[in-house]
Structure 1
Amino acid sequence: MITSLDDGVSRVCDAYLELADRHVPGLVGGLYLQGSIALGDYRPGKSDIDFVAVVDERPDAELLRRVHAELRKRHARPFFDGLYVTREDLRRDPEKTPAGPSVHRWRFTEESRAERHLVTWHVLARGGVAVRGPSVAELGVHLDPDALAHRTRENMATYWTRWVANSSRPLSSWGIASFSDHQTSWGALGVTRLRQTLATGEIASKTAAGEYALETFDERWHRIVREALRIRTGGPSLHRNRFRRRADLLAYMTMVLEK
């Protein structure tokens, strides 16, 4: 086990590998951590563990389902989210790889495209942590900065533009959710990460995105950015009124999307 990992992360990874090796011996040839761990922004109690498991062949779905069900019983938090791929998958454009098993918040899906995209590949290649298997550099992960920029713009024009439009309807489920801490942080820092990727060509952590926003955007937006960062680190809210916070959030996101 990599000793530099947070103790909680190490325990979950150890438990997962023990279960995988017991139920499906020899299946997991490589286990790599990406997401906030790879980006140096893992926060115990806030962050999930994002994994990429490398296998030689398509695993038995029911055995994998059992592995993750038993892992949940041992370690319900943090979530252990990720996907199963072959080394050949990682060497190709993820858009051209087949769907496969994935896990999100303990929900196992046999045929999924979740996280099979260039963001995952780039984060893994740039900072992924090898728990088992060869170093990330030896995997030959496919990188394509131009395609990453193109798909980032598409994501902003589709998912995030709809996110703001749906959240602007106050009596809808999206509108109600936009009052929450989680959606405030996810929304403000989510669109900022994409804007930073277009500016720098790199995938940023949520914290780094907030710092980028404070350095880049007008001071009028700083309170909502600091509020989004505050939700990740703790402390009292910078907004007394959640209606005002929601208005600031949607205005900020609209500005970033239109830049």
Structure 2
Amino acid sequence: MIPQVVEKAMSMLCNYLDIKHSNIDSMYLYGSVALGDYIEGSSDIDFIATLRNSPAMSDIETISAAHKKLEDEFPQIDIMGAYLLASDIGKPQDEISSLITYYNKQVHTDGFGSDINPITWWILKNHGIKVYGSTQSLHYETGIKPLAKYVIENLNTYWVSWINRLDKHLTVNNLSDQEVTRQSDEAVEWCALGMLRQLYTLKEHDIKSKVEAGYYGITIIPQQWHELIYEAINIKRRLPERYYLSNEKRLTDLVALLRYIHLEANRAFDESIAGWEK
């Protein structure tokens, strides 16, 4: 079931595009909405829209106007997505012929901010929700090997850079003021749940939402980090309960947890590789 605010927002966007006789053939939701874990005020609305023909300037203007109208009506929501030809669904970004993105409340014609990757295609194929237009076949391949390889590369680059930044942050900043507490909340939620999603995919060969990955983490992560994971879930769900009184202690534990997840994720990937090669 689509949350009411998402249904209203997407209905407005699609109706406006339809009224303008746009080139849009279909609109699908993926991400947290499709995984059944959308949290208002915390989650993004992620979409993939297909085009009948390569976009003209008039299409870009129509898409821009539709999103402007949507943002004026629903300023509190965060929405991001991509417009591409139906024939390009499931392809790597560098093989897509025409790509328009809506990211950071702006339309981009150069693919900036796109979320085109194996995770997106996996969720779209297995959980995508059509909210407008024609039904797409979605017959593209989504094997676990390319998904796992993408996840481990992302883990060993993007997420390792987060670990290193947090580790440095502990040594150079005063961690007592209110702004740092806010930043610490964001880091705990983003990093703990984000990396647990990577670990889940590498161990279980599937994809879960951030909150679900957090609860999964409770079942496999040593107890010393359970309160930190519960705190990350509470932050994501916009609940007030906290377990730490010290930002320094919380961030120290966070770095240790992330380093543990990093090691476990690489171990899970290596075990998968060994199994595939048998």
- Aligned mates of 2:213, 2:123 — CA distance in 1: 15
Partner of 1:190: 194
AA of the residue aligned to 1:133: G
Task: Report whether the alignment pairs 1:213 with 2:237.
Answer: no
Alpha-carbon distance, 1:134 to partner = 4.0
Partner of 2:2: 5
| Contact 1:101 1:112 (8 Å CA) reproduced | yes
Please, which runs of 5 or more residues in structure 2 have no aligned partner?
A: 174-179, 265-278
CA spacing shift, 1:140–1:203, aligned 2, 3 Å: same
Cα deviation, 1:224-246, whole Å, max 9, x if unaligned, reads 11110111220321111112111
| Contact 2:231 2:241 (8 Å CA) reproduced | no
- Counterparts of residues 100-115 of structure 1 (less than 5 Å): 100-112=99-111, 114-115=114-115
Cα deviation, 1:174-216, whole Å, max 9, x if unaligned, reads xx58843222101000011001101111111111111111001
- Aligned mates of 2:5, 2:255 — CA distance in 1: 35
Task: Report whether the alignment pairs 1:199 with 2:199.
Answer: no
- Counterparts of residues 222-241 of structure 1 (less than 5 Å): 222-233=226-237, 234-241=239-246
SS of the residue aligned with 1:243? Answer: helix
- Aligned mates of 1:72, 1:14 — CA distance in 2: 13
Cα deviation, 1:129-156, whole Å, max 9, x if unaligned, reads 11113446x2324413211111111001
- Aligned mates of 1:206, 1:97 — CA distance in 2: 28
- Aligned mates of 1:141, 1:183 — CA distance in 2: 35
- Aligned mates of 1:252, 1:117 — CA distance in 2: 26
Q: How many residues align?
A: 252
Cα deviation, 1:70-118, whole Å, max 9, x if unaligned, reads 2111111211211112221114344532462111231221111611111
SS of the residue aligned with 2:124? Answer: helix
AA of the residue aligned to 1:241: S
Partner of 2:269: none
Task: Report whether the alignment pairs 1:42 with 2:46.
Answer: no
| Contact 1:31 1:54 (8 Å CA) reproduced | yes
148-157 or 111-120, larger mean C-alpha shift = 111-120
AA of the residue aligned to 1:236: E
Alpha-carbon distance, 1:54 to partner = 1.0
Percent same amino acid among aligned pairs? Answer: 25
Cα deviation, 1:23-80, whole Å, max 9, x if unaligned, reads 4x14221111100011111112221211111111233333322221221111112112
| Contact 1:188 1:228 (8 Å CA) reproduced | yes
AA of the residue aligned to 2:105: W
- Aligned mates of 1:142, 1:188 — CA distance in 2: 30
After superposition, the CA RMSD in angstroms is 2.1
SS of the residue aligned with 1:111? Answer: coil
